[in-house]
Structure 1
Amino acid sequence: MIRRQALLLGIAAGLSTFVPALGQGRALSAEEQQLINEINVHNSAISTMVGRFLQIDTNGGRTEGTFFLQRPDKIAFRYAPPSREEIVSIGNGFYVLDRREETYYAYPQDSIPLRQFLGSQINLLNANVVDVTLSDGYISVTVIDETVAGTVQVSLIFDTETKDLAQWTLVEPSGAELTFSLYDVQKGVEIPRSFFSIPATYRGKEPGT
């Protein structure tokens, strides 16, 4: 069973711009600032994106699935069987759907950092950056932020040539880690509107019940 809190933290933290909350991060070099600015511009220009993902938890558990993104304000992560869960954002909140029970849990949009990635602009230079590492054609940007579950640290890894997000690793408040990798990504793809909706047969439940 995938923990719902980890699902939201992993996806949200990995794709957010992290509004600073914990004081000043480290000073960035001119090269680092230039690369991060190019990453901002590149990703802000992406209107739609689809692909597959691989999630690895702190115990080595692996979960795969498909994601769909349409900016602004829409994203869906469909976890492959045996998982029965799906995460959908439709602009006014994030919903964790249980496909077997036909239920969903709602989380307010403004309580999840992912809202920053789904907006009209992305700006990692406004994040609380604590480390930047360049290695083997990739740039890793490590940020920390205060989320709904506590303080988290995330290392976002981008391809320095394409500026695409390839992977992120989340360190949860408990110390557990969650790594999320993207592959087979396509951009500019038309996505059916139904992918960002909750079926009328699904009933709402309170988180934790």
Structure 2
Amino acid sequence: MNRRTLLSSIAALAFLPLTARLGFALDRPLTAEEEQMIREIGTHNSAIRTMAGRFLQIDSQGGRSEGTFFLERPSRIRFRYNPPSREEIISVGRGFYVVDRREQTQYAYPQDRIPLRQFLDSEINFFNTNIVAVSSSADYFTITLADDTPIGVVEVSLVFDSASKDLVQWSLVEPSGAELTFSLYDVQKNVEIPRSYFYIDPTYRSVEPQIR
């Protein structure tokens, strides 16, 4: 599995049925402390209107990719992979676009069918999502969400720093068990992000998504 896994996962989730909850459930009740932590994480991150930084992506085979990201609530994010890649994933508030600057092509998916969409909301409320697991350690608190897709159940685990409540990592696990992990670093919060960073060139040719 390589960087394409993120793109193929987005393609699969493009066809996710429009249901808020799909019958997923925790295998145990949340404790009062866990419920409080989830609320505090949502409140803290909802107050962060913009974020920018770098990411490191590692796949199940140990493949590594790096790049930069820019986030602006609600519903705008941009992942730009370092050269030699010329691909980007951009949300412009009404959908996600996979853009190839070399080929000058783009293809799009509905915003509400993409991993991380809950974290892009203006007001984050994880209790309105499909929480299937929570875990904690001395330093981190993890919330795992699930969605049912044509390729099976896809899980996204969001890892937060327990002290700061900041998102530091997330992992996407496909039904096959293949995993893609993103770690964030050099993150700056509430920074000015140019509007052009969430721009899709209208001259780029629209192509059909490829599900792999």
For normalisation by structure 1, the TM-score amounts to 0.87
Aligned to 2:142: 140
Aligned to 1:24: 25
Amino acid at match of 2:203: T
Asked if the contact 1:49/1:69 (under 8 Å) is kept, the reply is yes
Compare 133-142 and 18-27 and name the one that shifted more. Answer: 18-27
Aligned to 1:91: 93
In the superposition, relative to structure 1, how do residues 127 and 109 fare at CA in structure 2: closer, same or farther (>3 Å)? closer
Correspondence 1:27-46 to 2 at 5 A: 27-46=29-48
How far apart, in 2, do the equivalents of 1:21 and 1:181 lie? 28
Aligned to 1:102: 104
- Unpaired runs of 5+ residues, structure 1, are none
Aligned to 1:194: 196
Q: Secondary structure at the match of 1:136?
A: coil
In the superposition, relative to structure 1, how do residues 113 and 176 fare at CA in structure 2: closer, same or farther (>3 Å)? closer
Cα deviation, 1:104-133, whole Å, max 9, x if unaligned, reads 111122322443322221112233333322
Q: Tell me how far 1:19 sits from its aligned partner.
A: 4.5
Q: Tell me how far 1:190 sits from its aligned partner.
A: 0.6
Cα deviation, 1:141-187, whole Å, max 9, x if unaligned, reads 22322246431122221101100011112211222111111111101
Identity of aligned residues (%): 62
Correspondence 1:1-209 to 2 at 5 A: 2-3=3-4, 6-7=6-7, 9=9, 19-25=20-26, 26-147=28-149, 149-208=151-210
- Unpaired runs of 5+ residues, structure 2, are 14-18
Amino acid at match of 1:150: G
How far apart, in 2, do the equivalents of 1:37 and 1:47 lie? 17
Q: Tell me how far 1:198 sits from its aligned partner.
A: 1.2
Asked if the contact 1:112/1:148 (under 8 Å) is kept, the reply is no
How many aligned positions are there? Answer: 202
For normalisation by structure 2, the TM-score amounts to 0.86
